[in-house]
Structure 1
Amino acid sequence: MSVEENREIRPVRKKRKLRWGRLVFVLLVLAVLLTGAFWGTVWIYDNFINPPKVDVVGASDKITQNEKLNKRINILLLGIDDGDSDAAPDEPKRTDAMMLASFDPGDNKVALLSLPRDTKVQIPGRAGWDKLNAAYAYGGVMMAKQTVANLLQVPIHYYVLVDWRAFIDVIDLIGGVDLYVEKDMYYEDPYADLFIDIKHGYQHLDGKRAGEYVRFRKDELGDIGRVQRQQKFMKAAAAQIFNIDTVTKIPALFSTVDRHVETDMNTLTMIKAANSFKLFGDEKVKSGMLYGNFDDTEGISYWATSREEVQKSLDEIGIPYMKDDEDEQE
């Protein structure tokens, strides 16, 4: 067979026509993938490689720059309860609960210091004495941070602001909390749409009843008794949250947190804190309340504390602070 005949028999390949619809689809998918990769890289860079800088708040530069004090992560926890406030919806709210959570990421130690909302303090820029829970109403998160930093002489690195809706939703998501209620609790306030009726003994508290338990203060100890109950409940709830049975509920928990919680912590810091916090109930976790006494000598009910009582409170749970002699030496 000649070369010419062989060429005639060989099939001729037809060129495929490029379909523009298919090309556009491929380009769109590629664009989405590249965009996702780009923003994913940005997220990783911002949160892990070069997280955004949050200014440390302290009573002085010596505190904010002290290496020993800043080895820990100090977070100011603020609870807002719109349903338990006399303020109008558009008015600044006072904090209903305040707590300093101090984490040691290296040793996985956690310390929690409850701060009674009636604690007698001097709020920066205001004359005379005020209650601690007024700091947020007067100047928002930064004023609350500064007031607590001045009171305790510790650096405040971050804050978490939570409303009670988040508290109730989280407790419901984890299936409630089993707790020993130390006494009968009954209180009714139709003006605040609040009705509390919890019996003494072991109880399974859902979100609504848990909220009633931690807010109850109509007894001889008032707000101090409520602070003690909040700490007791937090320990029981934390043990439940980090139970293996709640792992599948983590996405829903994050969704609730995203809707109801405000914070300046980045993802990496939250992971570090959670890694320590999961040891709640372990001997490495300590909790306490700011020492003080009831004081109504000025016609207003305060929780009055002193520098010695503040230092005793911090020493007992292992939160480092700037001591008076250290401040004088530097």
Structure 2
Amino acid sequence: MKKFFRTFVTAFLIFAIISGGIVTWILKNEGDENSFASNISELIKGDDKKEITFLLLGVDSKDVTKAKGQRTDTMMLCRYDDTTGKISILSIPRDTKAVIRGRKNKEKINHAHAYGGPELSVKAVRDLLGIDIEYYVRVDYKIVKDVVDLIGGVEVDVPMDMKYKDPTADPPLNIDIKKGKQILKGEKSLEFLRYRKGYSNQDLGRIEAQQQFMNSAIKKALNPINIIKLPKFIDTYIENVDTNIPLEVIAKFALKAKNIDTENIEMATLPGQPKLMSGVWYFIHNEGKTQEMVDNMFIEHNLVMNDEKKEESNN
């Protein structure tokens, strides 16, 4: 049976997505009679969209666009607010027990993708969190290796010696990383994020390691030295990213990437705890704490911003 690694996605994928997206958009419009400058001008004219929220799905597939029958390894609700430069990321444990439309009983939320692809995953997260989600971004883990190598590695404080071998895994596992702070290149980054043994709090420990990697990676990816490498992102973007976000929307936010505040990255994990039920381990989320977290990270800020705009218009 094919084995999936459970934690891999990094927040710098947001950078890879928007950068690859804008390059794709530029190439798409390359033969247009208008100049590049005119296209950019038209793109940003009248744009009043200040934030974007999407579900980030990680899969292990040879072709990310044909991965419908597979479960997701990672699910994250991501939001970028252009007014503050803030990035908010909520990790959803793959074993979270949830309602999946069309299924008789609650199941692990990562099953949704196997039943109905990214569209059903979006609906499952929408039902779980009570938040309107329109967009998804589905990525293959191979993008991690490619992008990490492009940006020159990511600094990580490895919490323990990581040593594990499994030649039957797909791809095979041969993990050997020493404890301590170090720069991980592409292949070692995959080893770090595929490692599953030794965490005292199991899947939650892997999520914490994943979030540490995210924080470091996005800061490195947004370094001006790496931003000039935009054209090199195009191949890995096309091969490993599938999204329903229109290229025009991606490009608009890519043009505003300078507003991202790398010191203002908010990361959290769905509150709850593991529970053994009928011989199967599930993650049972705390509904009250979840609602409070979702309100703070994804909803109430919008209301505050709207109130501020009303006050400005009245003054």
What's the Cα RMSD here?
A: 2.8
Q: In structure 2, how many angstroms separate the alpha carbons of the residues matched to 1:137 and 1:177?
A: 32
Deviation at 1:109, TM superposition (A): 2.2
CA drift of 1:164 comes to: 0.8
For 1:261, the equivalent position in structure 2 comes to: 241
Choose the corresponding residue for 1:157, options 116, 134, 137. 134
- Which residue of 91, 106, 122 maps to 2:99? 122
CA distance 1:36–1:245, change in 2 (3 Å): closer
Q: Residue 145 of structure 2 corresponds to which residue in structure 1?
A: 168
Does residue 173 of structure 2 align to residue 194 of structure 1? Answer: yes
Q: 1:120 to 1:267 in 2, by over 3 A?
A: same
Whether contact under 8 Å (1:77, 1:101) holds in the other structure is yes
Q: Does 1:279 pair with 2:260?
A: yes
User: Whose Rg is larger?
Assistant: 1
Q: Counterparts of 1:121 and 1:296 in 2: how far apart (Å)?
A: 15
Shift of 1:48: 3.2
Task: Determine the C-alpha separation between the residues in 1 that align with 2:146 and 2:130.
Answer: 34
- Structure having greater relative contact order (Cα 8 Å, sep ≥ 6): 2
Aligned counterparts, 1:84-233, within 5 A: 92-192=69-169, 193-219=172-198, 220-233=200-213
- Select which of 306, 309, 312 maps to 2:289: 309
Native 8 Å contact 2:68 2:117 kept in 1? no
Partner of 2:20: none
Residues 296 and 236 from structure 1, CA distance in 2 versus in 1: closer, same or farther, beyond 3 angstroms?
same
Question: 1:40: how far off?
Answer: 7.7
TM-score of the two chains, using structure 1 as the length reference = 0.71
Q: Does 1:296 align with 2:273?
A: no
Q: Is the 8 A contact 2:273 2:283 kept in 1?
A: yes
> What fraction of aligned residue pairs are identical, expressed as a percent?
36
What is the CA distance between 1:93 and its match in structure 2? 1.1
* Deviation per residue, 1:181-222 (Å, 9 max, x gap): 111112222210112111110121111110111222223322
Structure 2 unaligned segments of length 5 or more: list them.
Answer: 1-29, 301-315
C-alpha separation in 2, matches of 1:102 and 1:91: 24
Summarize the alignment of residues 32-71 of structure 1 with structure 2, pairs less than 5 Å apart. Answer: 36-38=31-33, 44=39, 48=43
Question: Kindly tell me: are residues 312 and 91 of structure 1, through their superposed partners in 2, closer, same or farther at Cα, counting changes over 3 Å?
Answer: closer
Q: CA deviation at 1:76?
A: 0.4
Number of residue pairs aligned between Structure 1 and Structure 2: 260
Matched, 1:249 2:229: yes
> After the TM superposition, which parts of structure 1 deviate over 6 Å for at least 4 consecutive aligned residues?
none
Q: Which runs of 5+ in 1 are unaligned?
A: 1-34, 51-69, 84-88, 322-330
Residue of structure 2 equivalent to 1:14: none
- Residue aligned with 1:102, SS: strand
What is the CA distance between 1:264 and its match in structure 2?
1.5
2:52 alignment counterpart: 73
Structure 1 residue 252: Cα displacement: 0.3
Q: After TM superposition, give the deviation of residue 128 of structure 1 in Å.
A: 1.0
